[in-house]
Structure 1
Amino acid sequence: MLKKRRTPPEKIFTPKGKHVNKSMYVQRIELEKAFIKALRKPKHIIIYGESGCGKTWLYKKVFAERKIQYEVLNAATVNSTGSISTAIKSLTSRLEPFENTGYEEKISAGGNVVLAKADLEHTKKYEASTPEPYLELVRRLFKQAGSNESFLIIENLEHIVKNEQWVRELSSLLMYLDDEEYAKYRVRILLVGTPSNLRDYFSKVDSSQTIINRVQEIPEVSVLSSNDVKNLADRGFFQLLKANLIEDRESGFNKNFFFNALSWFSANVPQYVHEIGLEIAIETELNDYNITNELYIGCIRNWVQEALVSENARIEAHINSKTTKHGRRNQVIYTLGRFLGNEFSAQDVEEQMRNHFPISTKGKTLNVSANLTELASGNSPLIRKTPQGTRFRFLDPKIKIMARWMLEKDGSKEKLIVKKFDESIKF
């Protein structure tokens, strides 16, 4: 009897894969169309969205299909180098070693030139080219791309926008878009990061709007739909890994439950779908390719303990107590965990709170705005205000997942139970 041909788990679920995993890529047609359209316009481009939602996979896929050359400058290196200019110099030096521009000969004391040749010390001088760092970089990118259009990608832009001086420095680079000396090298900048409304950050250092006129945003790269997660899991576990799911009628564990659980605990974030998927797939391989309810529960717990430990500490710093009946802050955190989107206003939260807790909120003034301000303050904030200051976003989607994990409502009593890592999972 022929054995089923199975793909190894680590080649199916690739949460940090360097290359786009075509077999597990979720095509988002409208986003790809918007990005391709932006490529045809003579502006720099902004791709934004929460961490792990597929921003990098999006541009890698489109650039690969269109054979567009690019180099990546990780904005995290700006923290270590101290400036964008220095980080650019570092990138340039990696692209092409410094040229050997000459050497000096030192003659040993007391000898003549002829007799002392064996004692000559040659000290090579490696000097960087003299042009302004960004100009030198675009020249090399132009050469590397064979005179075709190319991109400098600045990843993790959130590291830069926190520092006004770095925003000014970046703004200066963006201004070179239509400068004759720079434009001839056909290099544009692709900004990739988590902050929404990046234009607002540039507005703070450029009231004339000249920067904003040189950049364009594509729609937010957001989480997947629940149906996308279901299709992704089905493809990974049952088509590629060829696993068997053993139903448990008593607990209600079946394929539909399994797919819904992956969607819920990953918050539909592609990276977390892959992380949870890899955890379960490895254990499934060790379990003769059988997915059981016990295996699923153990893997979810392992992933939460491994991936969300810092978020657990954050939320614990804000939670009222172990068990509360009308703890408003806990009710706010519970409600935030149930949001499908990542951005919300105080009014959005209050409306959902009243739906989740109709008895304890009836006729009460909730003061949700003050609670949200507290959750956005201190050394361990859970959320942050948007640049306009009227709405909020999670600092990281993992915080939403942790809220879903830790806070459980006790039926119609509206009492919230705070769960710990070592307590059982309920979905």
Structure 2
Amino acid sequence: MIEYRNLRVALLGAGSVGAQVASLLLSQKDELTARVGAGLELIGIAVRDVDAPRSVELPQHLFTTDAESLILGADIVIELIGGIEPARTLVLQALNSGADVVTANKALLATHGPELFRAAEQVGAQLDYEAAVAAAIPIIRPLHDSLAGDRVDRILGIVNGTTNFILDRMDTHGDTLESALATATELGYAEADPTADIEGYDAAQKAAILASLAFHTTVPIESVYREGITSITKEQVDAARAGGYVIKLLAICERLTDATTGEKGVSARVYPALISREHPLASVHGAHNAVFVQAAAAGDLMFYGAGAGGVQTASAVLGDLVSAARRHVVGGPGVAESTHSKLPVLDVGSVTTRYQISLQVVDQPGVLATIARLLSDGGVSVETVQQSVATAPDETPGHTVAADAPPTATLVIGTHAAPESALAATVKVLAASDVVSSVASILRVEGS
């Protein structure tokens, strides 16, 4: 057997993931060589500061600040810098030089994916990104390869470990959102600035990647509807538990038909939703991730595991590295992305879903009939209604209450499936009604 030359690997970034990738690549060199059929030589690690402390000990001579020169000498470039720039410029430089690229950069792919895939296809290079969505969980390759001959209809994903940890603490320990976030920060699950996680930006980037891949079309990040978890209260979590639900931040990608126009397209959206405790995703605890896929022929599939962590993410990166290296040994151009469908991305108003609406209402005869009429006028069918015991007006210090203010009661209304646009419009009508004191909360119901 003719031995293949060593393949030169350049690493961009040596943070928590990059340092682990370098360590594993060096320590498992012989085993990786046997799997690939060629040696994998780490020729350098590009960083901003060569003297910065690292999470693992690495040979100092590998570090450089000259990323461009390092790229030009590589067969495979691993990009773990994160963010948009300089990552985009460096990845394009690598692809244009003919090198394959492995990345875990979800923000870059969600924002500039089509541009990068075109660059790879033009020169026959390959761009792999298994670690970009759910760290160690293999979801990109199953969608790209294993399910390429099937029709993926829907994806429900818990793809952000920080928010899942927070919501799980609220559900299992009775924490408030603030205290759960503080615990997540102490344990290292949340960044000092958790905005990207708790406002849903991180999950939205991953939803854009999953939808583009699953539906063979381009879903730009700007088309992903997004809500975070900052408005979720302990009372909502407690009410969900009492009703047999749990609240999860879900990334949802699905094929759908607009109920009003009949237009067929796809939807990608992120928001906190109620999901039955009998659904497999309800059992995803802590900072774990899971992706639930519904395919026409394969049926229901679930991928579960660690959604973050340096060594866990490094596992997925090395899997992509081995795949790219094998292609070099075997020969042939890289496998291009499939985006032939070019389906329209429909607005969230086209989605058909269910609501659970909590209302503070005036406790007087005829209120329930008025609420039912307003819902019916909006084309929304009521499935369940729960009413709490009436309470006296708020008389806490500093709160001004009219002398003749009537007591209020809480109505929790579960709706049948209806277009999102109709549900949203009906909630506005309810909020303006004389019999409704306030709309306490609105949560969508998913997974059924």
Query: TM-score of the superposition, structure 2-length normalised?
Result: 0.28
Which structure has the larger Rg?
1
**Structure that is richer in strand per residue:** 2
**Structure that is richer in helix per residue:** 1
Which has the higher relative contact order, 1 or 2, with Cα contacts under 8 A spaced 6 or more apart?
A: 1
Query: TM-score of the superposition, structure 1-length normalised?
Result: 0.29
